[in-house]
Amino acid sequence: MSSQIPGPGPSFALHPHPSPVPAERRAELLANPGFGRVFTDHMVVINYSEGRGWHDARVEARAPIPMDPAAAVLHYAQEIFEGMKAYATGNGGASLFRPEANARRFAESAARLAMPALPEDLFVESVRQLVAVDRDWIPTTAGASLYLRPFMFASEVFLGVKPSAEYLYMVIASPVGRYFKGGAETVSVWVSQDYTRAAPGGTGAAKCGGNYAASLVAQAEAARHGCDQVVFLDAAERRWVEELGGMNIFFAFDDGSLATPPLGTILPGITRDSVMALARRDGIPVREEPYSLDQWRADAASGRLREAFACGTAAVITPIGTVKTPDGGFAIGGGENAGEITKRLRTALTDIQRGIAPDPFGWVQTVL
Ligand SMILES: *Cc1c(COP(=O)(O)O)cnc(C)c1O
């Protein structure tokens, strides 16, 4: 059984799940979803092949992907992804936050990985389709949301090294609660001296799985040192703070200003961009400039640095309390609690995302 879902832009075939998760079981799962382990009933699939382009857009029952062992992605890691959230708006409605920014970044990641661009309206429409079909999976509890994971990978069956001639684009969805477990407000970070994440000319600005594969050993090192997250320094000088494994970083100073590392080898976070816009709206100067580990340590000691926080879609805005390095550690602003600027920006951002505050930037898109 299939039907077309009406809507603007390209049409998707809908093949509803023959046996979706029963409502009582779904309610149990939604009560405490954790992060990334619970999935909805459906997924989006769109095929690409050289010559035909994008075709067979559909929403179907979530299921394993049949894959040939010689599929190119398994060997050469030609894969990109996005991360975004749908928020319940009350009365069964839902909204997305800056989905066109994810669509644009997805196209830029595709270009860097020598993959075909998915038209940006098709990207946004695919996400809307999945949210509409799986609307009952959007959690309504405070702080929870439906995490959406669009991704694309090389599916051509060929062991030669070249851009694949075939791709699968998919979207899956996962109801999520808070990202960091544990009660502590702040996170601790380990500054890696041995491993880097991204070099000039590399893939640091692309959201590709390979970047994460390369970051895991450093993240494991952070965990061994009792830290929640790893912070990477630049690859050329091992001196400048770049970002965390999957989050950008901000510093707040005693003169009321903010600083964040400049774009280039870091991932251009949509949360990062939104934080800068919100800060500037409120008259907080923001500098995009290199900041060294030595300066970070000195500023934390002198009190010039008041706060530091990490930001990204999954964990939103997370204060950094302590920093550990092979040469010793230091605390920021007492280490225990989120600072005033961090809390203020987090509230400003999440209130817009959840439709509690007005949206002067036009960031929120109603999808239901
Ligand atoms: C996704 C990601 C971020 C955060 O980007 P958002 O658009 O804010 O979610 C930051 N750093 C890395 C390495 C990422 O992959």
- HEC sequence for 266-323: CCCCHHHHHHHHHHHHCCCCEEECCCEHHHHHHHHHHCCEEEEEEEECCCEEEEEEEE
Integer Cα distance of 183 and 181 in angstroms: 7
DSSP 18: S
Instruction: Report which protein residue has its CA nearest ligand 1's atom 5.
Output: 269
| Predicted pLDDT at 10 | 63
Q: Mean pLDDT throughout 276-300?
A: 98
Domains of the chain, CATH where assigned: 3-177 (3.30.470.10), 187-353 (3.20.10.10)
Closest CA to 184 of 313, 36, 334: 334
pTM of the model: 0.96
Query: Which atom of ligand 1 approaches the CA of 274 most closely?
Result: 8
Check: CB of residue 266 under 8 Å from CB of residue 291. Answer: no
With a 6 Å cutoff on the Cβ, whether 353 touches ligand 1 is: no
Q: Would you say 244 and 189 are in contact if contact means Cβ atoms under 8 Å apart?
A: yes
Angle ∠(36,318,326) on CA atoms, nearest 5: 100
Distance 342 CA to ligand 1 centre (A): 18
Is residue 207 among the annotated active site residues? yes
> What is the Cα Rg of the chain in Å?
21
For position 8, what pLDDT does the model report?
46
What is the percent of the chain where pLDDT is above 90? Answer: 91
Q: Is 207 in the pocket of ligand 1 (CB under 6 A)?
A: yes
Q: How far is the CA of 215 from the centre of ligand 1 (A)?
A: 13
- With beta carbons less than 8 A apart as the criterion, state whether 233 and 192 touch: yes
| Average of per-residue pLDDT across 147-159 | 98
Interatomic CA distance for residues 112 and 205, integer angstroms: 9
List, for residues 54-100, the tens digit of each pLDDT value. 999 999 999 999 999 999 999 999 999 999 999 999 888 999 999 99
